[in-house]
Structures are given as structure tokens and as C-alpha cells.
Amino acid sequence: MPQTTITLDHPVDFARWRNATRALVGQHVSPEAIAWHVAPSGQPDTPAPDARPFRIPRETMQLAADVLQSMLPDRFTLAYRLIYTHVTGTDIPPPDLTRMEDAAAAVRAETVHLRHDLFTLMQHTDGDDGWHATLQATTYAPECNARFMTFQLSLAPWRLVLPGRRMEWTGKELLYGQDGAAPSPIAFNSLPPPAMPLVNGLDIPRITALPAVALAARTCRICPMARHATQTVFGEGRSDARMMFVGEQPGDKEDLAGRPFVGPAGQLFDRALMEAGIDRDDAYVTNTVKHFKFRPRGTRRIHEKAGPEEIANCAPWLAAERRVIRPHVLVMLGATAASALLGRHVTIGRERSRAIKLDDGTTGVVTVHPSFLLRVPDEAARVREYDHFVADLKLAASLRTPAAP
């Protein structure tokens, strides 16, 4: 007979389910002793402080999240049982496991359908109403792909009518409600993670808002670098910048700060920009690769050069930045950036310090990466190379078209 009642705020309240599961499984409370109830409580969820910590494999937690996106009436109990049996070393009943796997398969199928047919399903309305659709969903996959839809639709408002419920992104917040009740705000992070990684199926070339591209890129887990780095380091600067600077990849300091060019090379870069008469606040600064690639050496993380696979995986993000910003001048800092953007092997000595007309009409300039200047051992040579770098930046600045009045 259930002795503990857990109240969830909405039918896909993964955040409260997870917090309660951590507390109750940590105390070895059996699935049969818990009753799950859905009703807005408005109260923060505080797990019991004496719960024992435990770790769950990513695949197991994802299966639980997928089950919570199904419409099985006992989905909260099934998902809890999955975690409980893993922690206690007991066996989950085979019929329960089969039901969970079948439910997860249905959720994955609906997720694929939603993402593949999003622009067919959603109709655009002129004005502030944005996109809208009515969908006969058989799972809660649409709710859990709300962030995907928001990114894919470039942060524009949208609304989705579903059986017995509706969901709306106003451009500022996500609203959710059952039929007959006024929708109320819910947090994206209260929902289960979607059955597919957020970036999978995203049509990046259709995203027209730079903030949407940046937010989507921060979810990217395509290459192994993303699993080791602290975070995605996306570009920053004006979306209408006339100058765009592209380096290789974030370093240790950038990985920790979440911003490009803030470490020693970034400080040298800022100084050179100032001497060249370029205001960094008027430019856009980014990297070819958005995660820090390194090898551990004791407590230090040693930079490793980005390879062709990492460059290819990050290419859609860089292309989106370039497409949205449409800079007049594109400055390639180092051979990695230049090779990626020119589509061929680049030797800095042969390509630098001249204007290069690019396919989209942008003017490109190749120069060294500022980190190169930090590695020049001889003081006189370092001064000479720095002056050459500043001269390249001045050349790039001279190629800008005049700002509109």
C-alpha cells in the first residue's frame, strides 16, 4: 500500500520525478510504497537530506526519460522501478521491461516524425502569432521537443494544439496547459530530455536568429570533444558586425569561461585590435571548433590541434554564424581557420597579408593566430611578428565598407 505521495507539476515533470527518485531510491523505498500524483503544487521540491547518493548509467536514465514521455498510466512507477532495481541489484520483471522498451520505441518514432516533418506540420502566420499546428500525438514527445522546435523556428513564437492539452512559446516563455484550463509557464529543464539528442535532425541552415544558433550549438554532443570539454564556446559579438574573426578552437581559459579569446592569446588579440583601430565590441569573434580539445597532464590540460573530424562536425555552426552575420571582412586567424574556410590546405606564409575574394562576396584576410605570437622565443622576433600581425588587422579594417548612416 503506497505510503508516500509525490506531487508532480505537470504530466511530464521530469525534474520533480528525478529529485524524488534520487531521494526515495537513496532510502531504498520500494516502488509499491509510492503514489505519483499530477497537480500544480507551486512549492519547490526538496529531497530528503539523508538520501544515499548513487550513479545511474546514461543509457538507463535515458530509458527512464523516454518512458516518462509515453502515456502509460503507470509510467512514473515503471521509470522509478527501473532506477530502483539498478541501485538495489534486483531484477526488473520481464513484462515491465518489455512495456518500457515498447513505450520508448513509440516515443522515439514520434520524435523522429515530429522533427522530420516539423515545417510540414507547422504553418506560419503573419504578425506576432508565429507558427501554429494541431498534432494528434500519441506520446508526450512534442512537449519534450519544445526546445528543439523553439530553436528550429529561430525563437519565433509558436503554438501547438495536442489531444487534451496545448503548448505555446511566446517568444519569452513556454506555456502549457490542459484543455479547459489557462496555460501556465513551465521551465524547459523540467521536461525529460528528448529521445534523440537535441541537435539531431536540426536543420541548421534554416535557423535565422543568431541566439537560436548559439543555444542549439550549446546542446551539441556530436563529437567526443563535447563529452570532455566543460562547455560549448560559441562566438560572441554583434549580429550585424562588419568584421568577423575566426580562430581554431577555445583554449583552457575559454573552456572554463564559456567565451572565445579571453585567455593569454585573447588578451594579446585585444591589444592588437586596439592598436589597429578596431573595437572588439563592433566585431564578431568565434572559432572553427567550438569545444576545447586537450590531453590531461597531471592537473593541467594540454591543447591538442583540432583534426578534420572535429572541424567537419563544427562546420555547420560556423557556416550558420557566417550566414547570419554576413560580415564584410572575414579574418582567418591561423592555418586551421583558413583551411576550413577556404576549403583547401593553407600555408600562412603564402596567403597572409592580402585581400582574398570569397565565394559569398566577403573579403577574406589570412593572418597568424595570436597564440603563435606567444610562442616566438626571441624578443626581437616577437616584436617583429606582433607588428606584422597588427598590420594585417589594419589591412582588414581598411577593407570594411563604410557603416550605414
Cross-strand bridge partners of residue 245: 285, 331
Per-residue pLDDT tens digits for 281-304:
999 999 999 999 998 898 899 989
Place of cell 560572441: 236
Contacts of 261-265 with CB under 8 Å at 24 or more apart are 261/285, 261/370, 264/371, 264/374, 265/369, 265/370, 265/371, 265/373, 265/374
Asked if 14 and 160 sit in the same domain, the reply is no
pLDDT given for residue 44 in this prediction: 55
pLDDT given for residue 182 in this prediction: 86
Per-residue pLDDT tens digits for 12-40:
999 999 999 999 999 999 999 999 999 87
Whether the pLDDT of residue 242 is over 90: the answer is: yes
Indicate the angle between helix axes 14-26 and 75-88, nearest 10 degrees. 40
Asked if 157 and 232 sit in the same domain, the reply is no
* Mean pLDDT within 330-340: 97
Q: Which domain holds residue 369?
A: 204-398
The answer to whether position 362 is within a domain reads yes
Asked if 331 and 358 sit in the same domain, the reply is yes
325: cell is 552575420
* Mean pLDDT within 250-275: 96
The answer to whether position 230 is within a domain reads yes
Per-residue pLDDT tens digits for 173-212:
999 998 878 899 999 999 999 999 999 999 999 999 999 9
Round to whole Å and give the CA distance between 175 and 115. Answer: 20
Per-residue pLDDT tens digits for 148-159:
999 999 999 999
Rounded percentage of the chain residues whose pLDDT exceeds 90: 84
282: cell is 563592433
Cross-strand bridge partners of residue 381: none
Per-residue pLDDT tens digits for 62-107:
999 999 999 999 999 999 999 999 999 999 999 999 999 999 999 9
84: cell is 530502483
The answer to whether position 197 is within a domain reads no
Last residue of a domain, one of 134, 157, 190: 190
> CB-hemisphere CA count at 13 Å for 211?
6
Beta carbons within 8 Å of 277's beta carbon, 6+ residues apart: 394, 397
pLDDT given for residue 121 in this prediction: 93
Last residue of a domain, one of 95, 113, 131: 113
pLDDT given for residue 45 in this prediction: 56
Give 370's pLDDT tier (boundaries 50, 70, 90): very high
The answer to whether position 404 is within a domain reads no
pLDDT given for residue 223 in this prediction: 79
Asked if 167 and 218 sit in the same domain, the reply is no
Give 227's pLDDT tier (boundaries 50, 70, 90): confident
Among residues 226, 221, 202, 242, the alpha carbon closest in space to that of 325 is found at: 242
